Structure 1
Amino acid sequence: MATKLIGLTGGIGSGKTTIANFFKSKCVPLYIADEEAKAILFTPEVIKEVKEAFGESVFTDGLPDRAKIAALVFKEHDKLQILNGIIHPKVLKHFKAWMKQHSNAKFIIREAAILFESGSYKDCDKIILVTAPKEVRIKRVMERDNTTREKVLERMTAQWDDEKKAALSDFIIINDDLKTALNKADEILKILNKMEK
């Protein structure tokens, strides 16, 4: 039987990385798509494609500047779609190779911020959504990234809202209190471990 694919997602500032690390600490194979996307951005092939798509203005010292790219794509939705079109297929290819290496696992977790927006949620057997109240998320991101409220809101509007995501999710973790959120993650882990492979 095939390894089950569990999608883990959540909007910016939801704390999905904290939940992902909890699953990793329980020896669940974890693939963090966003980390891979960051690495792929600096490959020669992608550098060339990004330069062709957005020009030199998003580069610093000859390399893609993630802050400049973010400032551009979160303001203009069509540019975000172009960027995702460059990065996402390469992340997917890398993920498929990684999944083969974990084919003995009962299930694996793929953490991705744009699981729904990219359409890759359709490949998942189950989906876990991490959410938190909007103001909590804004405060977390402002503190984490040393950024403004306006910039956080720009990034939020580029993602699906939580109601839309919740309707397609199997499990929801409300992450406004860490202890409660981790208890919920532990409950979900027990359910996943009982699934038939």
Structure 2
Amino acid sequence: MIKIGITGGIGSGKTVVTSILEVMGIPVYIADEQSKRLTDTSPVIKEQLIALFGATIYTSEGLNRGLLASYIFNSADYLARVNQIIHPEVNRHFLHWTQQQQTTLCAIESAILFESGFDRIVDYSLMVYAPLALRIERACRRDGVNREEIERRINSQMPDEIKKERASFVVFNDNNQPLIPQIQEVITTLTPLTT
């Protein structure tokens, strides 16, 4: 089975690409969703977060996300330590998930594919690229926040140009080039490698 890592900056259109792949019959693991679920359900993550922050990091409903955010957004050290707790569990869970799939291709979607090291557990990476102004416009509309907030989020991520250099494939989601033929070309390139 070939594993593809899908990444791209805020507002690039990763969700659209993910939806297209799923329609094509390629299962996609959404790392952000699974990470949130695992922080509530994984005994390994829970034990380590409690050891780091104390028992108040969890409530009867699960992880106290507001409290965790207050720690990690104010400390690069805490952010790194939390990532060292969560990312290995997401990696393990993704690899277990791939074993359940009955397809020759599957994918993981992660905005932080390279930063998290998830790129090391996939065979190829696909970056969804869109011009910065378009990304800001999309993200403002989607999230209902102002331009400054979106720019702050974008500036906290790995620059697109670095992702483009590291990616095995780049698809352009710029409202000019049709996405489906670009994705189909990637799949056509990879399909013979699965036999």
- State TM-score, norm by structure 1: 0.82
1:88 aligned partner: 87
The secondary structure found in structure 2 opposite 1:42 is helix
1:191 to 1:95, Cα distance in 2 relative to 1, 3 A = same
1:144 to 1:72, Cα distance in 2 relative to 1, 3 A = farther
Structure 1 residue 98 displacement after superposition: 0.8
Structure 1 distance, partners of 2:103, 2:148, is 42
1:99 and 2:83 equivalent? Answer: no
Structure 1 distance, partners of 2:75, 2:93, is 27
1:151 to 1:79, Cα distance in 2 relative to 1, 3 A = farther
1:72 to 1:15, Cα distance in 2 relative to 1, 3 A = farther
1:12 to 1:188, Cα distance in 2 relative to 1, 3 A = same
Structure 1 residue 50 displacement after superposition: 3.8
Structure 1 distance, partners of 2:69, 2:131, is 23
Equivalent pairs counted in the alignment come to 194
Percent sequence identity over matched residues? 34
Structure 2 distance, partners of 1:55, 1:179, is 50
What RMSD over aligned residues (CA atoms) do the two structures have, in Å?
2.7
1:193 aligned partner: 191
Structure 1 distance, partners of 2:166, 2:42, is 36
Query: Does the CA-based 8 Å contact 1:33-1:112 persist in structure 2?
Result: yes
Structure 1 residue 48 displacement after superposition: 5.3
Larger helix share, 1 or 2: 2
Task: In structure 2, list runs of 5 or more residues that go unmatched.
Answer: none
Deviates more, 1:155-164 or 1:52-61: 52-61
Structure 1 residue 39 displacement after superposition: 0.8
Structure 1 residue 8 displacement after superposition: 0.9
Deviates more, 1:75-84 or 1:129-138: 75-84
The secondary structure found in structure 1 opposite 2:166 is coil
1:68 to 1:17, Cα distance in 2 relative to 1, 3 A = farther
Which runs of structure 2 are paired with 1:60-75 in the superposition (5 Å)? 63-66=62-65, 69-70=68-69, 73-74=72-73
Structure 1 distance, partners of 2:194, 2:30, is 24
The secondary structure found in structure 2 opposite 1:22 is helix
Which runs of structure 2 are paired with 1:111-130 in the superposition (5 Å)? 111-130=109-128
Query: Does the CA-based 8 Å contact 1:74-1:155 persist in structure 2?
Result: no
Structure 2 distance, partners of 1:125, 1:31, is 15
2:7 aligned partner: 9
1:82 to 1:154, Cα distance in 2 relative to 1, 3 A = farther
1:34 and 2:27 equivalent? Answer: no
The letter for the 1-side match of 2:98 is M
Structure 2 distance, partners of 1:154, 1:68, is 21
